[in-house]
Amino acid sequence: MIRERLRAELSRERPRPDVLLAVALSTATRIEAELVREVRLAVLPHLDVGAESDFWFSEWVGARQRQVVALRPDLLEPLRARLDLFDARALAALRAAVERVHVNLSPALALEEQVTWLACTGGEKGLSQAQALLRSASKAITVELRDGVAGWVIDAMSRLPAPVLHSNDGWHLVLNARKLRSDDISAEPKGMDRKVIEEILVPVAHGGADTTMRRIIGVRWDDGVLVLGEGVEGGITIKLPHHVPPFVEVFDNGSERSRWLSLRKITHYRPKRPGAVRLRTLDGRVFEIPEAIGGAVHASPVLVQVEGAQGEPARFWLQPVRFETGGRARQGQPVALLMKVLDTIPVDPNALTRLHKWLARDTRSAIRLLHGWTEEHRIRLATQIAAESEQHGWHVYRGRQDPAAAQWLRADKPQPGSSGVLLVVDRADSWHPQHLLGMLSALLDDDTPTRVLLLSPDAGHWWNAITRSFEASGVDLGVQKLLPEQPHRASADLFAAIVDVVADAAGEDLSSLRARDRGRAEDAELTAVAAALDVLKGPVGKTGAAKAVLRHEHLHREQRESAHAVQLAALVLLATLLRPLHVGVARELSLHFGLIDSEDDWRPLLAAYERLYPLDQDALDPLGRCQLADHLLAGVLVDRDADLGVDPGWALGLVSSIAAGTFPREDPDVAKAEAHALTALGHAATRFAKIATDHLKPLVRARPGLLAAAGAPTILSVVGHADTDLLDVISHALRDEPDVRLAPAIAELEDLLVRRRLRQADAGPVRDAPLFLRLAHSQARAGLPEAALASAERATTEYRRLVLTEPRVHTPNLCEALILQSELLGELDFPAQALTVAEDAETRLRKLQLRQWARPNANLGSALANLGRQKARAGNAPNALQDVLQAVRILRSLAATQSAEYSPELAEALVNLAERAAEAHRADLALSAAQEAVELAEELYRKNKWAHIHRYAAARACLASLVSDALPQVEQAVELYRRAAQASSERFEPHLAATLVQYARAAHHAGHPTTAIKALTEAIALWERRERPAELATAVALRDLWADESA
């Protein structure tokens, strides 16, 4: 279908701008934003900047990252066939533009671009030259044994022009690459005859269809059997380029050996072991096929939030869950037995009783949000209600979003049990609201009794969207909050009940344990499991219950996987410290830290791991759900207990290597894993103080920058353990961090640092002025204007004292504080005071500039931009416009030489200029400024999404207010603000509400009244939540007006 649409577009007399750019860029191996810009200006200068965005988000793009996109490989041939749209002069400019941007491209990719260019633009002579160029790559593989070139061949096979790839030189290159990458290109399938092997290794015409389109391979489960082949509907979709023969290598869960399957016809394969299956195609891609029936309701440890180009719902799937005693528990694996206990014994009996009553309500459909306490307790409670509901006739499912690499599974409606369907959605707040709504709407749209249990840390605006969508549908909506206090478990038979669960799971008689001393109720699960293991397997020495279970776990590894026991113990620690740890990162680190000697050793070690611990979405997290991760880290790193299976010296060296920054850095995913260590250690430090003193704080002191990658919860966890000096270190590392998701945590950090400093004896303006200015900025970025204003006022007071003695040194900082104070006064609706303070800042900066004979600086630009905004609020639009025009001139000149530092301020000033020009009825100036703001903000957004998402949203909203076709622009602004509000609700919910009102007006004007009312209803809920009566009254009045019109 998409090829037909492209052919139709290419056949038009004047193809669309995005199509023209796709044709021009079809010979490039990498398409960066910079290249799109360069090609537009050099080859298609008549196109406006919007064409770049249209191309970037077009359907012709098959893979999209933050700064790089790739065209769909199946569209390259028709796109390249229309390079004749450009004359010789334009083609020369195109080639020159690509070479300018790709001047530092790797030799292999540069060779590929040259080959593609010659083959597509040079006629028969060019094709011959292109084929000849491939011989240098063949020589590099055969003579120099360069593995990197062989790796390039694997990737280039899907991009090289077919006449080149299927030439003698092309296939000779592929065969030579196979010698170094036999696993990746075309390993000989065992059990197949020589004719099939030759078909893989030699270019063979597979029929007309294969030379013009991809094969679409479907993969789905059917009663434990994997069904694969063309025409198989549902499940995972694998798209094979036409030159890749249809064979896949199949790896069963926990198996070291693989099997080859031909997909020329529909094939049925029954794995020998339960669990996920991996498929590897001949072009080197690996697909994880999740098991058909899951055994848990929790979300995968690696969450991938998927969003379409316009925020359309992604494809999701509902995985059936069955709560049977697993094979690992029956074999007596200690952590599996503990998991069985945690899934069975009520963690909060009162909360569980409330959920039972919810299930039993006499209503067809019900949604309940379960939030609060900790993630471990929410999941445990959800697992318990799901397991018990299954016994009462409910079929249990979990909603999943899986990585784009695995494509998407169908959204088929689940089969109900005798009582109905129970769906559990963990981490519901991380889903895109439209995706979650799409799934719930499809599920609830029939007569089946349905219950949906959503798990989340809190009830944010995403929950408001759910309630609004279903408020008139008859769906029962409710919220159940779990309190952090330890629930009272008063049952005198708790210990005995736990022993019974272990006995049933292990199939052993443990009646002698039932009468033992129960100890503390909060420790009953660990105590009982440890006692049961001592009876079943023999005592492991005098130690605490958690450590006893971990010792038993290591003995179990030695019994079941003796050949890999030592490496497995180290891998478990590695995965616990860096959880969740992706399989690819685990392989690289295992090689780096000596767990394996070569890549060939990885598959056997991973298979041994899979036989003992589940993998979910290719992530290792062996002890996460059984709540032993903290105990393992403390036992190895603090107690240095070698009986847990890990050499303490090796483990300490692992942590030291993170502190020293000696992790392998070639793979960015490996670098990200370092930050996970801070999260794991911070979590463990809440239970074990010496983890904080011996490991967490030294690591933070050595690498404070890791906190930004670790995220806001980790920052707060570390701050809770830090002394004042360490808070200073963290503050210095994070004070310029632009990620809006971290702003609330940084504000708490700065607030704690100020309170600590104020208790010290060295009071005075030299210390206090910068402290309160940093605090004010952090509070403003966190969306706390009242607190920020109080801090800014204190900062200005202190700086005024300093200016009296050293005006040149302290005036810039005083003015920075005044500008912030003025902005906050204006935001809090004190326009007269805001204008007075803004004028003070501008006057002081101009006097300083005159004294120093200096050119206008950034502070003056910011001061003028703010002054213009405050004058506009006071009703002086003409003068406001002049101030902002001058501010833009200053900031533009600074951004020309220091782009990274001043482009963000310039983007904000351009939005300000567009607004002021519109107020002054300067329509052309307003539109020009808004378009420039969108262009600049989009460029910033591509470079760092979470640093500039609000600027991009503001620019889009501003442009929408100035154009006739406003709906697409404001719709994108709403989506951007929605994501920002999800990251920092205090700061961005008011912006989201205001933009929703703007969107509602645009939708109503465009003739979409239902959409308009929905958006306005969401805005009203946000204004109510934010306690903004003026804005609320305006939105309610607008809603009532439209309701009267429709009536």
Q: Kindly report, residue by residue over 406-418, the tens digit of the pLDDT.
A: 334 444 567 888 9
Q: Tens digits of per-residue pLDDT, 674-706?
A: 999 999 999 999 899 999 999 999 999 999 999
Structural domain spans, the chain: 2-194, 206-289, 317-482, 494-537, 545-703, 706-854, 858-963, 975-1047
Closest CA relative to residue 400, chosen from 332, 505, 314, 307: 314
In this predicted structure, what is the pLDDT of residue 219? 85
SS3 of 724-793: the string is HHHHHHHHHHHCCCCCHHHHHHHHHHHHHHHHHHHCCCCCCHHHHHHHHHHHHHHHHHCCCHHHHHHHHH
In this predicted structure, what is the pLDDT of residue 614? 84
d(CA 31, CA 936): 19
Percentage of the chain lying above the pLDDT 90 cut = 44
Distant-in-sequence, close-in-space partners of 271: CB < 8 Å, separation ≥ 6: 226, 250, 252, 253, 277
206-289 has which fold?
A: Immunoglobulin-like (2.60.40)
Q: Tens digits of per-residue pLDDT, 503-547?
A: 888 888 888 887 776 666 677 888 889 999 998 888 887 788 999
Q: Where is mean pLDDT largest: 71-75, 314-318, 482-486, 512-516?
A: 71-75
pLDDT at 442 over 50: yes
858-963 and 706-854 share a CATH fold: yes
SS3 of 973-1036: the string is HHHHHHHHHHHCHHHHHHHHHHHHHHHHHHHHHCCCHHHHHHHHHHHHHHHHHHCCHHHHHHHH
Q: Tens digits of per-residue pLDDT, 995-1037?
A: 999 999 999 999 998 889 888 988 998 898 888 899 999 999 9
- CATH number for the domain running over 317-482: 3.40.50
What is the SS3 assignment for 164? helix
In this predicted structure, what is the pLDDT of residue 211? 37
Token output for 976: 């951007």
Judge: domain 858-963, CATH 3.40.50.720. no
In this predicted structure, what is the pLDDT of residue 308? 40
Distant-in-sequence, close-in-space partners of 990: CB < 8 Å, separation ≥ 6: 783, 1022, 1026, 1028, 1031
DSSP string, 74-132: GGHHHHHHTGGGS-HHHHHHHHHHHHHHTTT--HHHHHHHHHHHHHHHSHHHHHHHHHH
Q: At what angle do helices 168-180 and 147-156 cross, to 10 degrees?
A: 130
Distant-in-sequence, close-in-space partners of 762: CB < 8 Å, separation ≥ 6: none
Whether the CB-CB separation of 185 and 165 falls below 8 Å is answered with no
In this predicted structure, what is the pLDDT of residue 644? 95
Distant-in-sequence, close-in-space partners of 644: CB < 8 Å, separation ≥ 6: 547, 550, 551, 554, 569, 632, 635, 636
In this predicted structure, what is the pLDDT of residue 305? 44
Distances (CA, A) of 583 to 148, 299, 323, 408, 641: 22, 17, 26, 20, 27
d(CA 550, CA 546): 6
pLDDT at 206 over 70: no
Range with the poorest average pLDDT among 436-440, 605-609, 636-640: 436-440
In this predicted structure, what is the pLDDT of residue 142? 59
pLDDT at 203 over 80: no
- β-pairing verdict for 286-289 and 317-321: unpaired
Closest CA relative to residue 516, chosen from 534, 504, 543: 534
Write 177-184 long-range contacts (CB < 8 A, 24+): 177/141, 177/149, 177/150, 177/153, 179/141, 179/142, 179/150, 180/141, 180/145, 180/147, 180/150, 181/147, 181/150, 181/151, 181/153, 181/154, 181/284, 183/280, 184/150, 184/151, 184/154, 184/284
In this predicted structure, what is the pLDDT of residue 261? 87
- Which residues on neighbouring strands pair with residue 582, listed in sequence order? 619
Q: What is the pTM of this model?
A: 0.75
In this predicted structure, what is the pLDDT of residue 403? 43
In this predicted structure, what is the pLDDT of residue 874? 82
In this predicted structure, what is the pLDDT of residue 1043? 81
706-854 has which fold?
A: 1.25.40
Q: What is the mean pLDDT of residues 396-411?
A: 57
